[in-house]
Chains A and B, each alone.
Chain A
Amino acid sequence: MKANNLKKRKYYTVAVFALFRLAALLTAAALAGIVLFLIIKGAGSISWDFLSQSPADSMTKGGIFPAIIGTFYLTAGAMLVALPLGLATAVYLSEYARPGRINSIIRLSVANLAGVPSVIFGLFGLAFFVTKLGLGISILSGSLTLALIIMPTIISASEEALKQIPLSYREASYALGASHWQTVFNVVLPAALPGIITGSVLSLARAAGETAPIMYTAAVFYTLHLPSSLFDPVMALPYHIYKLATVGTHEALVPIRYGSCLVLIGLVLGMSLAAIIIRTKIRRNKQW
Protein backbone atom coordinates (compact mmCIF):
# COMPACT_ATOMS: atom_id res chain seq x y z
CA MET A 1 0.00 0.00 0.00
CA LYS A 2 2.63 2.42 1.14
CA ALA A 3 5.07 1.33 -1.54
CA ASN A 4 2.35 1.75 -4.08
CA ASN A 5 1.77 5.31 -2.97
CA LEU A 6 5.44 6.08 -3.15
CA LYS A 7 5.63 4.66 -6.62
CA LYS A 8 2.68 6.74 -7.67
CA ARG A 9 4.26 9.86 -6.29
CA LYS A 10 7.47 9.09 -8.08
CA TYR A 11 5.70 8.72 -11.41
CA TYR A 12 3.85 11.91 -10.73
CA THR A 13 7.10 13.78 -10.08
CA VAL A 14 8.69 12.41 -13.20
CA ALA A 15 5.67 13.38 -15.28
CA VAL A 16 5.55 16.92 -13.93
CA PHE A 17 9.22 17.44 -14.53
CA ALA A 18 8.91 16.11 -18.05
CA LEU A 19 6.17 18.64 -18.63
CA PHE A 20 8.32 21.47 -17.33
CA ARG A 21 11.24 20.35 -19.40
CA LEU A 22 9.00 20.26 -22.44
CA ALA A 23 7.92 23.84 -21.79
CA ALA A 24 11.52 24.96 -21.47
CA LEU A 25 12.53 23.14 -24.62
CA LEU A 26 9.61 24.65 -26.48
CA THR A 27 10.82 28.15 -25.58
CA ALA A 28 14.32 27.37 -26.73
CA ALA A 29 12.94 25.79 -29.87
CA ALA A 30 10.90 28.89 -30.64
CA LEU A 31 14.01 31.08 -30.53
CA ALA A 32 16.05 28.60 -32.52
CA GLY A 33 13.19 28.29 -35.01
CA ILE A 34 12.97 32.02 -35.57
CA VAL A 35 16.69 32.43 -36.01
CA LEU A 36 16.94 29.41 -38.28
CA PHE A 37 14.01 30.61 -40.38
CA LEU A 38 15.65 34.00 -40.80
CA ILE A 39 18.99 32.48 -41.67
CA ILE A 40 17.47 30.23 -44.33
CA LYS A 41 15.43 33.03 -45.83
CA GLY A 42 17.82 35.91 -45.36
CA ALA A 43 21.41 34.68 -45.29
CA GLY A 44 21.54 34.68 -49.07
CA SER A 45 21.10 38.42 -49.28
CA ILE A 46 23.73 39.26 -46.68
CA SER A 47 26.90 40.54 -48.25
CA TRP A 48 29.38 43.28 -47.58
CA ASP A 49 27.55 45.48 -50.07
CA PHE A 50 24.23 44.76 -48.38
CA LEU A 51 25.66 46.03 -45.08
CA SER A 52 27.60 48.96 -46.43
CA GLN A 53 25.55 50.38 -49.33
CA SER A 54 22.48 52.55 -49.57
CA PRO A 55 19.33 51.13 -51.15
CA ALA A 56 18.96 51.56 -54.90
CA ASP A 57 16.30 51.09 -57.55
CA SER A 58 13.28 51.62 -55.26
CA MET A 59 14.76 49.37 -52.57
CA THR A 60 15.05 46.38 -54.84
CA LYS A 61 18.82 46.61 -55.00
CA GLY A 62 21.66 47.89 -52.89
CA GLY A 63 22.00 47.63 -49.14
CA ILE A 64 20.54 48.79 -45.88
CA PHE A 65 23.44 50.69 -44.40
CA PRO A 66 21.42 53.84 -43.57
CA ALA A 67 18.87 51.76 -41.67
CA ILE A 68 21.59 50.04 -39.65
CA ILE A 69 23.16 53.37 -38.79
CA GLY A 70 19.76 54.84 -37.93
CA THR A 71 18.85 52.01 -35.59
CA PHE A 72 22.26 52.24 -33.98
CA TYR A 73 21.84 56.00 -33.35
CA LEU A 74 18.30 55.64 -32.05
CA THR A 75 19.21 52.82 -29.70
CA ALA A 76 22.36 54.47 -28.42
CA GLY A 77 20.49 57.76 -27.99
CA ALA A 78 17.70 56.06 -26.06
CA MET A 79 20.22 54.33 -23.77
CA LEU A 80 22.15 57.56 -23.26
CA VAL A 81 19.00 59.27 -22.02
CA ALA A 82 17.29 56.40 -20.21
CA LEU A 83 20.26 54.90 -18.39
CA PRO A 84 21.24 57.93 -16.28
CA LEU A 85 17.63 58.96 -15.71
CA GLY A 86 16.53 55.43 -14.87
CA LEU A 87 19.52 54.87 -12.63
CA ALA A 88 18.93 58.13 -10.80
CA THR A 89 15.27 57.19 -10.28
CA ALA A 90 16.22 53.75 -9.00
CA VAL A 91 18.80 55.18 -6.60
CA TYR A 92 16.29 57.69 -5.33
CA LEU A 93 13.59 55.06 -4.86
CA SER A 94 15.73 52.44 -3.19
CA GLU A 95 18.19 54.57 -1.25
CA TYR A 96 16.56 57.85 -0.39
CA ALA A 97 12.79 57.94 -0.71
CA ARG A 98 11.02 57.19 2.52
CA PRO A 99 8.12 54.83 2.13
CA GLY A 100 5.09 57.07 1.71
CA ARG A 101 2.71 58.66 -0.70
CA ILE A 102 5.24 60.17 -3.15
CA ASN A 103 7.20 56.95 -3.23
CA SER A 104 4.09 54.91 -4.03
CA ILE A 105 2.98 57.38 -6.70
CA ILE A 106 6.36 57.14 -8.43
CA ARG A 107 6.36 53.36 -8.21
CA LEU A 108 2.84 53.15 -9.54
CA SER A 109 3.71 55.43 -12.44
CA VAL A 110 6.75 53.38 -13.32
CA ALA A 111 4.76 50.16 -13.23
CA ASN A 112 2.04 51.62 -15.41
CA LEU A 113 4.49 53.19 -17.82
CA ALA A 114 5.71 49.67 -18.50
CA GLY A 115 2.21 48.62 -19.49
CA VAL A 116 1.47 51.40 -22.00
CA PRO A 117 1.30 50.06 -25.60
CA SER A 118 4.20 51.28 -27.68
CA VAL A 119 2.00 52.88 -30.35
CA ILE A 120 0.74 55.26 -27.69
CA PHE A 121 4.31 56.25 -26.90
CA GLY A 122 4.69 56.91 -30.59
CA LEU A 123 1.70 59.21 -30.64
CA PHE A 124 2.85 60.93 -27.47
CA GLY A 125 6.29 61.41 -28.98
CA LEU A 126 4.71 62.94 -32.05
CA ALA A 127 2.53 65.29 -30.04
CA PHE A 128 5.15 66.27 -27.48
CA PHE A 129 8.71 65.96 -28.80
CA VAL A 130 8.05 66.40 -32.51
CA THR A 131 5.35 69.07 -32.42
CA LYS A 132 5.22 70.74 -29.02
CA LEU A 133 8.96 70.95 -28.41
CA GLY A 134 9.52 71.42 -32.12
CA LEU A 135 12.22 68.78 -32.37
CA GLY A 136 10.72 67.52 -35.62
CA ILE A 137 10.93 64.00 -37.01
CA SER A 138 14.44 63.37 -35.84
CA ILE A 139 16.91 61.11 -34.09
CA LEU A 140 16.40 63.21 -30.98
CA SER A 141 12.60 62.81 -30.91
CA GLY A 142 12.88 59.09 -31.62
CA SER A 143 15.54 58.52 -28.98
CA LEU A 144 13.56 60.40 -26.35
CA THR A 145 10.42 58.41 -27.17
CA LEU A 146 12.31 55.12 -27.01
CA ALA A 147 13.92 56.26 -23.78
CA LEU A 148 10.48 56.63 -22.20
CA ILE A 149 9.61 53.10 -23.23
CA ILE A 150 12.70 51.47 -21.77
CA MET A 151 12.87 53.56 -18.57
CA PRO A 152 10.69 51.21 -16.51
CA THR A 153 12.84 48.19 -17.39
CA ILE A 154 15.99 50.06 -16.49
CA ILE A 155 14.51 51.35 -13.25
CA SER A 156 13.37 47.96 -12.04
CA ALA A 157 16.56 46.25 -13.17
CA SER A 158 18.63 48.85 -11.32
CA GLU A 159 16.52 48.67 -8.21
CA GLU A 160 16.86 44.91 -8.23
CA ALA A 161 20.63 45.18 -8.65
CA LEU A 162 20.89 47.73 -5.81
CA LYS A 163 18.87 45.49 -3.52
CA GLN A 164 21.29 42.62 -4.13
CA ILE A 165 24.22 44.48 -2.59
CA PRO A 166 24.92 42.89 0.78
CA LEU A 167 24.40 44.98 3.89
CA SER A 168 27.96 44.14 4.93
CA TYR A 169 29.39 46.41 2.20
CA ARG A 170 27.35 49.32 3.45
CA GLU A 171 28.31 48.60 7.05
CA ALA A 172 31.98 48.50 6.15
CA SER A 173 31.66 51.88 4.46
CA TYR A 174 29.72 53.49 7.30
CA ALA A 175 32.19 52.11 9.81
CA LEU A 176 34.92 54.09 8.06
CA GLY A 177 33.00 57.32 8.56
CA ALA A 178 31.37 57.49 5.12
CA SER A 179 28.12 59.35 4.72
CA HIS A 180 25.05 57.79 3.17
CA TRP A 181 25.74 59.50 -0.14
CA GLN A 182 29.41 58.49 -0.12
CA THR A 183 28.42 54.91 0.60
CA VAL A 184 25.87 54.79 -2.20
CA PHE A 185 28.13 56.48 -4.70
CA ASN A 186 31.43 54.77 -3.90
CA VAL A 187 30.36 51.31 -2.81
CA VAL A 188 26.76 50.40 -3.59
CA LEU A 189 26.50 51.76 -7.13
CA PRO A 190 29.79 50.35 -8.40
CA ALA A 191 28.99 46.97 -6.89
CA ALA A 192 25.56 47.02 -8.53
CA LEU A 193 26.87 48.06 -11.93
CA PRO A 194 27.21 44.57 -13.46
CA GLY A 195 23.64 43.78 -12.47
CA ILE A 196 22.41 47.10 -13.81
CA ILE A 197 24.12 46.47 -17.13
CA THR A 198 22.67 42.98 -17.37
CA GLY A 199 19.20 44.29 -16.73
CA SER A 200 19.61 47.08 -19.22
CA VAL A 201 20.60 44.71 -22.02
CA LEU A 202 16.96 43.68 -22.28
CA SER A 203 15.82 47.24 -22.79
CA LEU A 204 18.54 47.75 -25.36
CA ALA A 205 17.08 44.99 -27.49
CA ARG A 206 13.62 46.43 -27.02
CA ALA A 207 14.72 49.91 -28.12
CA ALA A 208 16.37 48.52 -31.23
CA GLY A 209 13.37 46.47 -32.22
CA GLU A 210 10.39 48.77 -31.67
CA THR A 211 8.60 50.10 -34.74
CA ALA A 212 5.57 52.01 -33.55
CA PRO A 213 7.38 54.56 -31.35
CA ILE A 214 9.73 55.67 -34.12
CA MET A 215 7.19 55.54 -36.91
CA TYR A 216 5.91 59.04 -36.16
CA THR A 217 8.95 60.47 -34.43
CA ALA A 218 12.16 59.53 -36.19
CA ALA A 219 11.97 57.11 -39.06
CA VAL A 220 11.59 57.69 -42.78
CA PHE A 221 11.36 55.04 -45.46
CA TYR A 222 14.08 56.52 -47.55
CA THR A 223 16.64 59.29 -47.25
CA LEU A 224 19.36 60.19 -49.64
CA HIS A 225 21.69 61.35 -46.91
CA LEU A 226 22.99 59.83 -43.78
CA PRO A 227 22.00 61.91 -40.75
CA SER A 228 24.38 64.73 -40.01
CA SER A 229 22.82 65.95 -36.77
CA LEU A 230 20.46 64.91 -33.99
CA PHE A 231 17.69 66.82 -35.76
CA ASP A 232 17.78 64.71 -38.90
CA PRO A 233 15.34 61.90 -39.56
CA VAL A 234 16.81 58.48 -40.16
CA MET A 235 16.03 55.18 -41.69
CA ALA A 236 15.70 52.41 -39.15
CA LEU A 237 15.69 48.64 -39.42
CA PRO A 238 12.35 47.77 -37.81
CA TYR A 239 10.57 50.47 -39.77
CA HIS A 240 12.34 49.41 -42.92
CA ILE A 241 11.21 45.82 -42.44
CA TYR A 242 7.68 46.94 -41.72
CA LYS A 243 7.58 49.04 -44.87
CA LEU A 244 9.10 46.35 -47.05
CA ALA A 245 6.52 43.92 -45.75
CA THR A 246 3.50 46.15 -46.21
CA VAL A 247 4.25 48.41 -49.17
CA GLY A 248 6.31 46.54 -51.66
CA THR A 249 4.99 43.61 -53.63
CA HIS A 250 8.06 43.32 -55.81
CA GLU A 251 9.64 39.86 -55.82
CA ALA A 252 13.11 41.30 -55.27
CA LEU A 253 12.05 42.77 -51.92
CA VAL A 254 11.52 39.42 -50.21
CA PRO A 255 15.16 38.45 -49.67
CA ILE A 256 16.00 42.02 -48.71
CA ARG A 257 13.26 41.91 -46.11
CA TYR A 258 14.60 38.73 -44.54
CA GLY A 259 18.12 39.98 -44.83
CA SER A 260 17.12 43.09 -42.89
CA CYS A 261 15.46 40.96 -40.20
CA LEU A 262 18.61 38.93 -39.86
CA VAL A 263 20.72 42.06 -39.54
CA LEU A 264 18.37 43.46 -36.88
CA ILE A 265 18.58 40.27 -34.83
CA GLY A 266 22.33 40.23 -35.34
CA LEU A 267 22.59 43.84 -34.20
CA VAL A 268 20.55 43.20 -31.06
CA LEU A 269 22.48 40.06 -30.18
CA GLY A 270 25.72 41.89 -30.91
CA MET A 271 24.86 44.77 -28.61
CA SER A 272 23.80 42.35 -25.88
CA LEU A 273 27.07 40.51 -26.29
CA ALA A 274 29.00 43.77 -26.00
CA ALA A 275 27.13 44.58 -22.80
CA ILE A 276 27.91 41.15 -21.40
CA ILE A 277 31.58 41.55 -22.25
CA ILE A 278 31.70 44.94 -20.53
CA ARG A 279 30.00 43.42 -17.50
CA THR A 280 32.46 40.56 -17.29
CA LYS A 281 35.34 43.00 -17.59
CA ILE A 282 33.99 45.05 -14.72
CA ARG A 283 33.36 41.94 -12.64
CA ARG A 284 36.86 40.70 -13.25
CA ASN A 285 38.70 43.90 -12.54
CA LYS A 286 36.68 45.52 -9.82
CA GLN A 287 38.98 48.47 -10.00
CA TRP A 288 36.85 51.47 -9.63
Chain B
Amino acid sequence: MVNDPNAVEVKTLNFFYGEKQALKNINLDIKRNEITALIGPSGCGKSTFLRLLNRMNDLIAGVRLEGKILLNGMDIYAPEAESADIRRRVGMVFQKPNPFPKSIFNNVAYGPMLHGIKNKHGLNRIVESSLRAAALWEEVKDDLHKSALSLSGGQQQRLCLARALAMEPEVLLMDEPTSALDPISTSKIEELVMDLKNSYTVIIVTHNMQQAARISDKTCFFYMGELIESGATDQIFTLPQQRQTENYITGRFG
Protein backbone atom coordinates (compact mmCIF):
# COMPACT_ATOMS: atom_id res chain seq x y z
CA MET B 1 0.00 0.00 0.00
CA VAL B 2 2.88 2.33 0.73
CA ASN B 3 4.12 1.76 -2.79
CA ASP B 4 0.71 2.44 -4.24
CA PRO B 5 1.12 5.78 -6.05
CA ASN B 6 -2.55 6.69 -5.62
CA ALA B 7 -3.58 9.01 -2.79
CA VAL B 8 -7.24 8.65 -3.69
CA GLU B 9 -9.09 5.90 -5.52
CA VAL B 10 -12.72 6.31 -6.46
CA LYS B 11 -14.56 3.16 -7.44
CA THR B 12 -17.97 3.02 -9.16
CA LEU B 13 -19.23 6.00 -7.25
CA ASN B 14 -22.87 7.05 -7.44
CA PHE B 15 -24.22 9.88 -5.33
CA PHE B 16 -27.76 11.09 -4.74
CA TYR B 17 -29.33 14.18 -3.19
CA GLY B 18 -32.64 12.57 -2.24
CA GLU B 19 -34.00 11.22 -5.52
CA LYS B 20 -31.70 13.32 -7.66
CA GLN B 21 -28.55 11.61 -8.87
CA ALA B 22 -25.69 14.10 -8.82
CA LEU B 23 -22.81 11.75 -9.72
CA LYS B 24 -22.95 8.75 -12.01
CA ASN B 25 -20.57 5.86 -11.98
CA ILE B 26 -17.33 7.71 -11.32
CA ASN B 27 -14.04 5.82 -11.45
CA LEU B 28 -10.89 7.79 -10.86
CA ASP B 29 -7.40 7.39 -9.43
CA ILE B 30 -5.60 10.45 -8.09
CA LYS B 31 -1.83 10.29 -7.85
CA ARG B 32 0.16 11.40 -4.86
CA ASN B 33 2.07 14.71 -5.18
CA GLU B 34 0.19 15.74 -8.26
CA ILE B 35 -2.24 18.53 -8.91
CA THR B 36 -5.51 17.30 -10.30
CA ALA B 37 -7.92 19.84 -11.75
CA LEU B 38 -11.66 19.22 -11.97
CA ILE B 39 -13.36 21.17 -14.73
CA GLY B 40 -16.82 21.28 -16.24
CA PRO B 41 -19.84 23.53 -16.59
CA SER B 42 -21.49 24.72 -13.41
CA GLY B 43 -23.89 22.25 -11.85
CA CYS B 44 -22.06 19.23 -13.29
CA GLY B 45 -21.11 17.89 -9.86
CA LYS B 46 -17.54 19.12 -9.28
CA SER B 47 -18.21 20.47 -5.79
CA THR B 48 -20.30 17.47 -4.92
CA PHE B 49 -17.46 15.19 -5.91
CA LEU B 50 -14.88 17.22 -4.02
CA ARG B 51 -16.99 17.31 -0.87
CA LEU B 52 -17.35 13.56 -0.93
CA LEU B 53 -13.60 13.24 -0.54
CA ASN B 54 -13.65 14.78 2.95
CA ARG B 55 -17.16 13.67 3.85
CA MET B 56 -18.52 17.21 3.96
CA ASN B 57 -21.70 15.97 2.30
CA ASP B 58 -22.43 14.00 5.47
CA LEU B 59 -23.80 17.27 6.81
CA ILE B 60 -26.62 17.29 4.25
CA ALA B 61 -29.75 15.34 5.06
CA GLY B 62 -31.11 12.71 2.71
CA VAL B 63 -27.99 11.96 0.71
CA ARG B 64 -26.96 8.50 -0.43
CA LEU B 65 -23.70 7.11 -1.69
CA GLU B 66 -22.86 3.94 -3.57
CA GLY B 67 -19.37 2.72 -4.37
CA LYS B 68 -16.09 3.30 -2.63
CA ILE B 69 -13.60 6.06 -1.99
CA LEU B 70 -10.17 5.00 -0.75
CA LEU B 71 -7.83 7.46 0.93
CA ASN B 72 -4.34 6.00 0.90
CA GLY B 73 -5.94 2.60 0.81
CA MET B 74 -8.53 3.21 3.54
CA ASP B 75 -12.24 3.15 2.73
CA ILE B 76 -13.41 6.52 4.07
CA TYR B 77 -17.07 5.50 4.03
CA ALA B 78 -16.54 2.24 5.87
CA PRO B 79 -18.73 1.96 8.96
CA GLU B 80 -15.75 2.24 11.29
CA ALA B 81 -14.39 5.38 9.58
CA GLU B 82 -14.96 8.58 11.56
CA SER B 83 -15.86 11.64 9.50
CA ALA B 84 -13.93 13.96 11.84
CA ASP B 85 -10.91 11.73 11.41
CA ILE B 86 -11.18 11.83 7.62
CA ARG B 87 -11.52 15.61 7.62
CA ARG B 88 -8.39 15.90 9.71
CA ARG B 89 -6.53 14.00 7.00
CA VAL B 90 -8.12 15.81 4.05
CA GLY B 91 -7.89 19.59 4.13
CA MET B 92 -10.24 21.93 2.32
CA VAL B 93 -10.13 25.48 1.02
CA PHE B 94 -13.49 26.93 0.05
CA GLN B 95 -14.67 29.11 -2.78
CA LYS B 96 -15.13 32.23 -0.69
CA PRO B 97 -12.42 32.98 1.88
CA ASN B 98 -13.98 32.02 5.21
CA PRO B 99 -11.54 32.79 8.02
CA PHE B 100 -13.04 32.62 11.49
CA PRO B 101 -13.69 35.99 13.11
CA LYS B 102 -10.69 35.33 15.32
CA SER B 103 -7.12 36.53 15.31
CA ILE B 104 -4.77 35.42 12.54
CA PHE B 105 -2.90 33.24 15.02
CA ASN B 106 -6.03 31.57 16.33
CA ASN B 107 -7.27 30.85 12.84
CA VAL B 108 -4.20 28.81 12.03
CA ALA B 109 -3.93 27.29 15.50
CA TYR B 110 -7.60 26.27 15.53
CA GLY B 111 -7.13 22.83 14.00
CA PRO B 112 -4.00 21.81 15.93
CA MET B 113 -5.57 23.05 19.17
CA LEU B 114 -8.70 20.99 18.55
CA HIS B 115 -6.58 17.95 18.21
CA GLY B 116 -4.76 18.36 21.44
CA ILE B 117 -1.73 20.53 20.76
CA LYS B 118 -1.79 22.88 23.70
CA ASN B 119 1.75 24.02 24.37
CA LYS B 120 2.51 27.52 23.24
CA HIS B 121 5.84 26.66 21.73
CA GLY B 122 4.50 23.91 19.50
CA LEU B 123 1.61 26.09 18.37
CA ASN B 124 3.91 28.99 17.57
CA ARG B 125 6.00 26.71 15.40
CA ILE B 126 3.02 25.28 13.54
CA VAL B 127 1.50 28.71 12.97
CA GLU B 128 4.73 30.10 11.61
CA SER B 129 5.49 27.20 9.31
CA SER B 130 1.91 27.09 8.00
CA LEU B 131 1.86 30.82 7.32
CA ARG B 132 5.21 30.50 5.58
CA ALA B 133 3.91 27.66 3.45
CA ALA B 134 0.99 29.88 2.48
CA ALA B 135 3.37 32.77 1.69
CA LEU B 136 1.64 34.96 4.25
CA TRP B 137 4.18 35.02 7.07
CA GLU B 138 6.12 38.09 5.96
CA GLU B 139 2.93 40.10 5.62
CA VAL B 140 1.39 39.24 8.98
CA LYS B 141 4.19 38.22 11.33
CA ASP B 142 3.85 41.46 13.33
CA ASP B 143 0.06 41.35 13.39
CA LEU B 144 -0.63 37.78 14.44
CA HIS B 145 -3.12 38.94 17.02
CA LYS B 146 -5.08 41.16 14.69
CA SER B 147 -8.45 40.01 13.48
CA ALA B 148 -8.29 37.82 10.39
CA LEU B 149 -11.15 39.86 9.02
CA SER B 150 -8.84 42.86 8.71
CA LEU B 151 -6.91 41.09 5.92
CA SER B 152 -7.61 41.60 2.23
CA GLY B 153 -9.55 38.93 0.33
CA GLY B 154 -6.44 37.39 -1.17
CA GLN B 155 -4.68 37.35 2.20
CA GLN B 156 -7.75 35.80 3.79
CA GLN B 157 -7.72 33.00 1.25
CA ARG B 158 -4.03 32.35 1.91
CA LEU B 159 -4.84 32.33 5.62
CA CYS B 160 -7.49 29.69 4.95
CA LEU B 161 -4.84 27.73 3.09
CA ALA B 162 -2.46 28.07 6.06
CA ARG B 163 -5.26 26.96 8.37
CA ALA B 164 -5.74 23.81 6.28
CA LEU B 165 -2.00 23.16 6.01
CA ALA B 166 -1.59 23.40 9.78
CA MET B 167 -3.21 19.95 9.94
CA GLU B 168 -0.62 18.53 7.53
CA PRO B 169 -3.36 16.89 5.49
CA GLU B 170 -2.66 13.96 3.18
CA VAL B 171 -4.81 15.53 0.49
CA LEU B 172 -5.76 19.16 -0.04
CA LEU B 173 -9.09 19.99 -1.67
CA MET B 174 -9.72 23.40 -3.19
CA ASP B 175 -13.11 24.43 -4.54
CA GLU B 176 -12.66 27.31 -6.97
CA PRO B 177 -10.32 28.98 -4.48
CA THR B 178 -9.62 31.99 -6.67
CA SER B 179 -13.04 32.74 -8.08
CA ALA B 180 -13.60 35.54 -5.56
CA LEU B 181 -10.12 37.03 -5.96
CA ASP B 182 -8.45 39.66 -8.14
CA PRO B 183 -5.88 38.58 -10.79
CA ILE B 184 -2.82 39.34 -8.64
CA SER B 185 -4.12 37.39 -5.64
CA THR B 186 -5.14 34.64 -8.03
CA SER B 187 -1.66 34.23 -9.47
CA LYS B 188 -0.20 34.20 -5.94
CA ILE B 189 -2.48 31.32 -5.01
CA GLU B 190 -1.63 29.52 -8.23
CA GLU B 191 2.09 29.78 -7.51
CA LEU B 192 1.49 28.50 -4.03
CA VAL B 193 -0.47 25.52 -5.23
CA MET B 194 2.32 24.57 -7.57
CA ASP B 195 4.83 24.78 -4.72
CA LEU B 196 2.62 22.64 -2.50
CA LYS B 197 2.83 19.78 -4.94
CA ASN B 198 6.13 18.67 -3.46
CA SER B 199 4.57 17.86 -0.13
CA TYR B 200 0.86 17.52 -0.84
CA THR B 201 -1.65 15.97 -3.16
CA VAL B 202 -3.90 18.74 -4.45
CA ILE B 203 -7.33 18.43 -6.04
CA ILE B 204 -8.63 21.73 -7.32
CA VAL B 205 -11.98 22.62 -8.86
CA THR B 206 -11.79 25.47 -11.29
CA HIS B 207 -14.10 27.06 -13.82
CA ASN B 208 -11.11 28.78 -15.32
CA MET B 209 -9.60 26.59 -18.00
CA GLN B 210 -6.42 28.63 -18.31
CA GLN B 211 -5.91 28.04 -14.62
CA ALA B 212 -6.34 24.30 -15.02
CA ALA B 213 -3.92 24.32 -17.94
CA ARG B 214 -1.38 26.43 -16.07
CA ILE B 215 -1.14 24.56 -12.82
CA SER B 216 -2.43 21.01 -13.04
CA ASP B 217 -0.80 17.73 -13.96
CA LYS B 218 -4.05 15.88 -14.51
CA THR B 219 -7.40 17.20 -15.61
CA CYS B 220 -10.81 15.61 -15.18
CA PHE B 221 -13.77 16.84 -17.18
CA PHE B 222 -17.19 16.40 -15.60
CA TYR B 223 -20.45 16.81 -17.44
CA MET B 224 -23.92 16.30 -16.01
CA GLY B 225 -22.73 14.16 -13.15
CA GLU B 226 -20.46 12.00 -15.26
CA LEU B 227 -16.71 11.93 -15.50
CA ILE B 228 -16.42 12.25 -19.25
CA GLU B 229 -12.67 12.21 -19.56
CA SER B 230 -9.57 12.34 -17.43
CA GLY B 231 -5.89 12.33 -18.23
CA ALA B 232 -2.71 14.36 -18.44
CA THR B 233 -3.57 18.05 -18.63
CA ASP B 234 -1.54 18.56 -21.82
CA GLN B 235 -3.39 15.79 -23.53
CA ILE B 236 -6.85 16.93 -22.40
CA PHE B 237 -6.23 20.45 -23.67
CA THR B 238 -4.55 19.51 -26.94
CA LEU B 239 -6.02 16.17 -27.89
CA PRO B 240 -9.28 15.57 -26.08
CA GLN B 241 -10.69 12.14 -26.83
CA GLN B 242 -14.33 13.02 -26.27
CA ARG B 243 -16.49 15.38 -28.29
CA GLN B 244 -18.00 16.93 -25.12
CA THR B 245 -14.57 17.67 -23.68
CA GLU B 246 -13.51 19.34 -26.88
CA ASN B 247 -16.69 21.42 -27.00
CA TYR B 248 -16.13 22.56 -23.46
CA ILE B 249 -12.49 23.50 -23.69
CA THR B 250 -12.99 25.30 -26.97
CA GLY B 251 -15.72 27.30 -25.30
CA ARG B 252 -18.63 26.00 -27.34
CA PHE B 253 -20.67 25.68 -24.16
CA GLY B 254 -20.43 26.11 -20.46
Interface residues of A (CB under 8 A from B): 166, 168-169, 171-179, 182, 186-187, 190-191, 284-288
Using a CB–CB cutoff of 8 Å, the interface residues on chain B facing chain A are: 54, 56, 59, 84-85, 87-88, 91-92, 94, 96, 98-103, 106, 110-111, 114-115, 145, 147-149, 160, 163-164, 167
Q: How far is the CA of A190 from the CA of B115 in the complex (A)?
A: 19
A102 to chain B, nearest CB (A): 19
In the assembly, what is the distance between CA of A175 and CA of B161, in Å?
A: 12
Known interface pairs A168-B94, A172-B100; A286-B149 also in contact (CB < 8 Å)? yes
- Residue pair B84, A169 in contact (C-beta under 8 Å): no
Q: In the complex, what's the smallest C-beta–C-beta distance from A226 to chain B, in angstroms?
A: 42
Contact of B92 among A166, A175, A182, A186 (CB under 8 A): A175
Asked if A175 and B101 make an inter-chain contact with CB atoms under 8 angstroms apart, the answer reads no
Is there an interface contact between B59 and A174, defined as CB atoms closer than 8 Å? yes
CA distance A49 to B20 in the complex (A): 76
| Most B CB within 10 A of own CB, among A169, A172, A173, A175 | A175
Residues of A within 8 A of B54 (CB): 175
Q: Check if A171 sits within 8 Å of B87, measured CB to CB.
A: no
Chain B residue contacts of A190, Cβ below 8 A: 101-102
Cβ A173 vs Cβ B94 within 8 A:
no
Q: Which 6 A-B pairs have the closest CB atoms?
A: A177-B88, A168-B98, A176-B111, A175-B92, A286-B147, A177-B87
What are 29 contact pairs spanning A and B, CB under 8 A?
A: A166-B98, A168-B94, A168-B98, A169-B98, A169-B100, A171-B56, A171-B94, A171-B98, A173-B100, A173-B110, A174-B56, A174-B59, A175-B94, A175-B164, A176-B91, A176-B111, A176-B114, A176-B167, A177-B88, A177-B114, A177-B167, A178-B114, A190-B102, A286-B103, A287-B102, A287-B106, A287-B145, A288-B102, A288-B106
Residues from chain A with a CB closer than 8 A to the CB of B147 are 284-287
Q: Which residues of the partner chain B approach A285 to less than 8 Å between Cβ atoms? A: 103, 147
| C-alpha gap A191/B101 in the complex (Å) | 7
Instruction: Tell me the complex Cα distance, A21–B157, Å.
Output: 44
Q: B100–A175 contact, CB under 8 A?
A: no
A248 → B minimal CB distance (Å): 53
Given contacts A177-B87, A186-B114, contact A172 B163 (CB under 8 A): yes
Cα of A287 to Cα of B103 in the assembled complex, Å: 5
Instruction: Evaluate contact between B84 and A179: CB separation under 8 angstroms.
Output: yes
Verify B100–A176 contact, CB threshold 8 A.
Answer: no
**Which residue of chain B is the closest to A285 with respect to CB atoms?**
B147
Complex: chain B residue closest to A182, CB-CB: B114
Q: How far is the CA of A285 from the CA of B106 in the complex (A)?
A: 12
Residues of chain A within 8 A of B56, CB atoms compared: 171, 174-175
Chain A residues with CB under 8 Å of B101's CB are 169, 190-191, 286
- Taken together as a complex, chains A and B put the C-alpha atoms of A178 and B163 apart, in Å, by 13
Residues of A within 8 A of B149 (CB): 286
Q: How far is the CB of A264 from chain B (nearest CB, A)?
A: 36
Give CA–CA (A191, B106) in the complex, Å.
13
Bound-state Cα–Cα, A178 to B102, Å: 16
In the complex, the chain A residue whose C-beta lies closest to that of B107 is A172
Please name 8 further chain A to chain B contacts, defined as beta carbons within 8 Å, in addition to the given A177-B84, A182-B114, sorted by A numbering. Answer: A169-B98, A171-B59, A175-B92, A176-B87, A176-B114, A176-B167, A178-B111, A186-B110
Residues of A close to B145: CB separation below 8 A: 287
By a CB distance below 8 angstroms, the chain B residues around A174 are: 56, 59, 87
Chain A residue nearest in CB terms to B55: A174
CA distance A182 to B111 in the complex (A): 11
Q: How far is the CB of A105 from chain B (nearest CB, A)?
A: 23
Chain A nearest CB, measured from B104 CB (Å): 10
Task: Identify which of A176, A186, A288 contacts B88 (C-beta below 8 A).
Answer: A176
Smallest CB separation, A235 vs chain B (Å): 43
B59 to chain A: closest residue by CB: A174
Chain A residues within an 8 Å CB radius of B99: 172
Q: In this complex, what residue of A is CB-closest to B112?
A: A176
User: What is the distance, in angstroms, from A178's C-beta to the closest C-beta of chain B?
Assistant: 5
- The answer to whether B96 and A176 have CB atoms under 8 Å apart is no
Cβ of B22 to closest chain A Cβ, rounded Å: 18
Residues from chain A with Cβ under 8 Å of B84 in the complex: 177-179
Give CA–CA (A285, B101) in the complex, Å: 9
Are the C-beta atoms of B98 and A177 separated by less than 8 Å? no
Most B CB within 10 A of own CB, among A172, A179, A287: A172
Tell me the bound Cα distance from A191 to B98 in angstroms: 13
How far in angstroms is the closest Cβ of chain A from B113?
8
- Docked-complex contact B100 and A177, CB < 8 angstroms: no
Residues of B within 8 A of A175 (CB): 54, 56, 87, 91-92, 94, 164
Nearest neighbor of A166 in chain B, beta-carbon distance? B98
